[in-house]
Structure formats: structure tokens, C-alpha cells
């Protein structure tokens, strides 16, 4: 296993970024919003466009932090030399920027899974 400089805690940052991305996608999905609003408790409220913009920014910040931590981890552990470090960092940041330029949407399978896993207790405000 490579790295270890940060005791693999960078994966926690990655997990946070993925959670923020999933939440963003859920609240943008018309199918998800329609499903949850039909539940008997009706306690779910979709987030506003402004809040969703903040979630998208948070995803970028967290994902960027993960990329930097992972690359530094590999450099410090001796898995990368300085040139590899710079190249990989540039590659991963470029991939993230391309991802964010595209319209981020949930796939029908993702929405289906969210609906199947729905628990109304997750949405008490």
C-alpha cells in the first residue's frame, strides 16, 4: 500500500467530498424531489439554487484538498519524485476542473438507489 504519511486520513476528506456531491445531486434531481415530497411526513424541502451553488463549491474545495493531501502523501512517502508529484497534481486538478465544467447530474440508477434506500427519519428538520 502506498503513502501513509497522513495515516490515510485523506480518505476522510474524500468521503466528505463524495457526501457533499451526492447531496448536491439529490437536491437537483427532479425525480428524487418528487418522490420525497410524496411521502406522508412531507418534511423534506429541496435546497435553493444559492445553497446548491455553495454545495458545488464545497465539493470542489474538499475534492481539491483530497487531491493535494494524496499527492503530498505520495511525495513524502517516497512513492513520487518531485516531477511525478507536480505532474500527477496537475493531472488530477485538471480532471476535477473538467468534471466541474460539465453539468453534474445523477444517473437514473443513482436516483433509483436513493429512492430504494429512502428513510423518512433522515429528513426531520
User: What's the mean per-residue pLDDT of the chain?
Assistant: 86
Q: Which pLDDT score is estimated for 72? A: 94
- What percent of the chain has a predicted confidence (pLDDT) above 90? 48
pLDDT-derived band at 122 (thresholds 50, 70, 90) equals low
For the chain, the first-to-last Cα distance in angstroms comes to 42
Over residues 66-91, the pLDDT tens digits come to 999 999 999 999 998 999 999 999 99
Degrees, nearest 5: CA angle 29-34-38 = 150
Q: Which pLDDT score is estimated for 26? A: 87
Q: Which pLDDT score is estimated for 125? A: 45
User: Do the beta carbons of residue 2 and residue 79 sit within 8 Å?
Assistant: yes
Cα separations in angstroms, 27 against 63, 86, 91, 117 = 19, 36, 30, 15
Q: Which pLDDT score is estimated for 120? A: 63
Interhelix angle 30-37/108-116, rounded to 10 degrees, is: 20
What does pTM read for this prediction? 0.82
Amino acid at each position: 500500500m502506498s503513502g501513509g504519511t497522513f495515516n490515510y486520513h485523506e480518505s476522510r476528506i474524500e468521503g466528505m467530498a463524495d457526501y457533499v456531491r451526492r447531496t448536491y445531486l439529490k437536491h437537483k434531481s427532479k425525480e428524487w424531489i418528487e418522490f420525497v415530497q410524496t411521502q406522508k411526513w412531507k418534511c423534506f424541502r429541496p435546497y435553493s439554487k444559492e445553497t446548491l451553488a455553495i454545495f458545488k463549491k464545497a465539493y470542489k474545495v474538499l475534492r481539491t484538498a483530497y487531491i493535494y493531501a494524496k499527492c503530498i502523501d505520495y511525495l513524502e512517502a517516497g512513492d513520487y519524485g518531485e516531477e511525478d508529484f507536480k505532474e500527477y497534481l496537475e493531472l488530477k486538478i485538471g480532471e476535477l476542473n473538467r468534471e466541474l465544467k460539465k453539468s453534474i447530474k445523477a444517473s437514473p440508477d443513482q436516483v433509483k438507489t436513493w429512492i430504494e434506500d429512502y428513510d423518512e427519519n433522515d429528513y426531520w428538520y
